Amino acid sequence: MENLAIETASKKYLVVFLENEFRKFITELSLKHPKSLITIITDENVFKFYEKELRFIDNQQFFLFTIKSGEKSKSIKSKLAIEKFLFSHKNNRQSVLVALGGGVVGDLVGYVAATFMRGIAYYMVPTSLLAMVDSSIGGKTGINNEFGKNLIGAFYQPEGVVIDFGFLKTLSNEHFKNGMAEVIKAGIIKNPQIFSLVEQNAPKLLERERREEQEGREDDLLKQIIVKSIEVKREVVSLDERENNYRRILNFGHTVGHALELDSDYEMLHGFAVSIGMVVEAFFSYKLNLLPAEDLRKITKVLQSMGLPYRLPKSVNAQKIYQIMLLDKKSLDRKVYCNLINQIGEVNANRGTFRRVIEPDFVHECFREMQKV
């Protein structure tokens, strides 16, 4: 598979596609940075699955640091622990970090790299589907705090992104579905072909364990979907690296999604929260006469067919969600904004702002209607 070049205002780098070639990547990394200390940072789950591959690296140039798995690790505490490790092992400005894991490891390690000695090189090696199609691309790094998600961070691009499809074999079904939510989002905002591929192949995509027996056909389909989703993200971030405007389209489903995630105290997975968030924001788009009812129905159906949640739980309180959305870093002048859509594959430009103010009464009305059924 051909490499993809990402060119943002601040940096140009490659997304490389591999299959069970992590060792090869490590060898190449060592050749490319012969004078650097290289620290691979991963989480406990990923370490457990790939301990053998990681243990072989007994080279003095390499170090390994493991964080606890889960969203709660995207914290200042983990950042301090990594920094302490790096300083105590005499790292310097030439040092290189490798983020081996899902979006949690990627966002955290990227942020450590952004500030360690005012910025050191790092590579993204995403191992979850969500990280492959979304979080490893585009240089948004950061951590959470008690006020919300991703409130502290930096735009900081990696030296390269390595997508090794082999990692997906050990990913749980829950996290596979979690990543599919972002794939579907990429289809909705920019590429209707991704959307139809998922629509037409949802059961096949979900039957992951039978993939290898079937001559790799579904495997190829998944790879194709991953590459296309990365292409969507690449186009968006190359036009607007720092989310001054157009990059906002990636937040479709996320204003409501983030609020649901926080409201659940991060019990709900990101992609699952975004799945409901997309249905709600598609409903907003429909109620504002931007999106045809048929497209709203298709969006709901495709999420359902991928085993993702598509109903707004009755227990969710509109006023509380509105208040959380007000605290979101995307809110401005005490107003809540959502990034809406005109149809599957097309966002609503709203005179080039790519967002709309959502009033509290409107949120209440939509929630009431959605929670009726």
Give the residue numbers annotated as catalytic, written as ranges.
Answer: 118, 140, 182, 233, 243, 247, 251, 254, 258, 270
Q: Does 149 bind ligand NAD (CB under 6 A)?
A: yes
By beta carbon distance, the residue nearest ligand NAD is 103
Site string for ligand NAD, 103-132 (x = CB under 6 A): xxx-x-------------------xx-xx-
Residue closer to ligand NAD, measured from CB, 37 or 180 = 180
In the complex, the smallest distance separating the C-beta of residue 141 from ligand NAD, rounded to whole angstroms, is 6
Can you tell me the distance from the alpha carbon of 191 to that of 66, in angstroms, rounded to the nearest whole number?
37
Query: 3-state DSSP helix/strand/coil percent for the chain, to nearest 5?
Result: 55, 20, 30
Site string for ligand NAD, 13-52 (x = CB under 6 A): ------------------------------x-xx--x---
For residue 315, the SS3 value is: coil
Q: Does 164 bind ligand NAD (CB under 6 A)?
A: no
- Interaction residues for ligand NAD, span 178-197 (CB under 6 A): 178
Going by C-beta distance under 8 Å and a sequence separation of 6 or more, which residues neighbour residue 205?
Answer: 180, 198, 218, 221, 222, 225, 306
Neighbour tally for 57: CB within 10 Å? 17
- Reading the block at residue 44, the tokens are 């406990």
Q: Does 158 bind ligand NAD (CB under 6 A)?
A: no
Residue 73, Cα to own-chain centre: how many angstroms? 16
Residue closer to ligand NAD, measured from CB, 101 or 160 = 101
Give the amino acid at 51. Answer: E
In the complex, the smallest distance separating the C-beta of residue 183 from ligand NAD, rounded to whole angstroms, is 12
For 264, list phi and psi in degrees, rounded to 5: -90, 10
Residue closer to ligand NAD, measured from CB, 50 or 62 = 50
Give the angle subtended at the CA of 199 by the CAs of 373 and 286, to the nearest 5°. 45
Contact 260, 273 (CB under 8 A): yes
Residue closer to ligand NAD, measured from CB, 190 or 270 = 270
Q: Does 255 bind ligand NAD (CB under 6 A)?
A: no
Can you tell me the distance from the alpha carbon of 119 to that of 68, in angstroms, rounded to the nearest whole number?
24
Site for ligand NAD (CB under 6 A): which residue of 10, 170, 245, 317? Answer: 170
- Reading the block at residue 91, the tokens are 């790292």
In the complex, the smallest distance separating the C-beta of residue 285 from ligand NAD, rounded to whole angstroms, is 21
Cα torsion angle, 105, 134, 242, 2, sign:
positive
Can you tell me the distance from the alpha carbon of 363 to that of 212, in angstroms, rounded to the nearest whole number?
45
Q: Which of 7, 240, 39, 67 is nearest to 123 (CA)?
A: 39
In the complex, the smallest distance separating the C-beta of residue 18 from ligand NAD, rounded to whole angstroms, is 13
Q: Does 150 bind ligand NAD (CB under 6 A)?
A: yes
- Interaction residues for ligand NAD, span 66-105 (CB under 6 A): 69-71, 74, 101-105
Q: Are strands 121-126 and 140-145 parallel, antiparallel or unpaired?
A: unpaired
What are the residues binding ligand NAD (CB under 6 A)?
43, 45-46, 49, 69-71, 74, 101-105, 107, 127-128, 130-131, 134-135, 138, 140, 149-150, 167, 170-171, 175, 178, 270
